């Protein structure tokens, strides 16, 4: 299998005949192009964060405080980017993070299906949000042989939660990721300024509107009275005040690997593992939910140290480049999820845009390893980094 970085040579060769890349090659240009094509409402939702967005920015700049130490004569002509998660060998350490409006980042409104197809094409697993434009069964059917995980926002209705998990397992999703930091919506001034919350318009609610338990709570089907269905969703979403005693119930719902997303404190990580959780997801929701906190990258090493070596810690928040991925892996992440970059890729180029973003990230990660002398992601450990702000 060729190195991912070899892709750059095909770009240079095409340049000899006057062909230049149609899609952006830098994150800054990708973001600029996405803003041009997204509606104001979708742009606000995806680009925005909580409060004055200080934590959102901190998630990004936290990577600047670490430098990768170059090594030489290490035999890095060929690089192995593969990782193992829950007994499955994946070709790369990337995951497509759950994005609750990815469905409407596509101009035709089927971004979840396109993301699944991009996952199938690239081998990068998709973590599908509970908030999709197309039902989870249809999204899973597009994954081909690539694994997919289902992210769950537990509603304030246990029977509905149980139904969503059962549907995900039956549809072939291979893990359940429970998001813990969305008991309620964070303070998001961008969305508030334009009085926009897409789900209250009935968008990205296909998993609820198609669910038999949810439908049984309605006087009329969502197709006949979408306003009432949306109102019921609003009453149920984000009001499930989970506590540690509920973990046994969540664990009992599925035989699939169970991960908890939003864990940033080592004590919480230990307690989760003690309760039977299979994986930890260290995240600050990209700075979208709470402002004034730590960047997730600063939390990652302590969370990793708190759990056993056989408990994988997934990481997201602020990842914008291949070196960012390398640094998160060196600090102990078993896999790294990207969110905003591929949402922008979807807006700019649909499925091809998502695949392009993944190709750029993997090429830059691969070339970073090559130039700095690391033969694979398995050789990235804490001693590969030096803290720059001490």
The pairing of strands 313-315 and 148-152 is unpaired
For residue 265, indicate whether it is catalytic. Answer: no
Cα separation of 377 and 165, whole Å? Answer: 32
Report residue 354 CA to chain centroid gap: 13
Q: Is the dihedral of CA 256, 259, 260, 266 positive or negative?
A: positive
Identified catalytic residue from 4, 110, 265, 285: 285
Q: Which residues are catalytic?
A: 285
């Amino acid at each position: 299998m060729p190195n991912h970085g070899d892709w750059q040579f095909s770009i240079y060769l095409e340049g000899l005949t006057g062909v230049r890349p149609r899609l952006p090659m830098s994150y800054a240009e990708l973001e600029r192009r996405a803003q041009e094509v997204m509606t104001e409402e979708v742009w606000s939702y995806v680009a925005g964060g909580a409060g004055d967005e200080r934590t959102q920015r901190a998630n990004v700049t936290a990577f600047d405080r670490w430098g990768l130490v170059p090594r030489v004569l290490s035999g890095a002509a060929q690089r192995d980017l593969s990782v193992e998660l829950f007994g499955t060998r994946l070709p790369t350490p990337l995951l497509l993070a759950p994005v609750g409006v990815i469905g409407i980042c596509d101009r035709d409104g089927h971004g979840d299906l396109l993301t699944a197809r991009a996952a199938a094409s690239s081998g990068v697993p998709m973590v599908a949000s509970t908030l999709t434009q197309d039902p989870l069964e249809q999204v899973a059917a597009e994954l081909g042989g690539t694994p997919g995980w289902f992210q769950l926002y537990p509603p304030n209705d246990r029977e509905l939660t149980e139904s969503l998990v059962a549907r995900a397992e039956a549809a072939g999703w291979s893990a359940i990721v429970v998001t813990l930091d969305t008991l309620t919506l964070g303070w998001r001034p961008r969305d508030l300024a334009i009085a926009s919350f897409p789900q209250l318009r009935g968008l990205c609610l296909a998993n609820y509107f198609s669910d038999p338990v949810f439908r049984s709570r309605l006087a009329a089907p969502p197709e006949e009275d979408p306003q009432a269905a949306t109102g019921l969703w609003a009453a149920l979403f984000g009001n499930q005040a989970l506590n540690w005693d509920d973990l046994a119930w969540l664990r009992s719902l599925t035989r699939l690997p169970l991960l908890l997303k939003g864990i940033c404190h080592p004590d919480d990580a230990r307690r989760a593992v003690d309760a039977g959780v299979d994986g930890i997801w260290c995240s600050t929701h990209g700075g979208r939910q709470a402002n004034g906190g730590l960047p997730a990258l600063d939390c990652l090493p302590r969370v990793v140290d708190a759990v056993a070596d056989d408990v994988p810690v997934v990481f997201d928040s602020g990842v914008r480049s291949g070196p960012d991925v390398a640094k998160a892996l060196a600090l102990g992440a078993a896999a790294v999820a990207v969110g905003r970059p591929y949402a922008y890729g979807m807006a700019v180029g649909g499925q091809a845009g998502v695949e392009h973003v993944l190709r750029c990230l993997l090429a830059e990660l691969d070339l970073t390893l090559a130039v700095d002398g690391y033969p694979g992601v398995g050789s990235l450990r804490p001693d590969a980094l030096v803290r720059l702000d001490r």
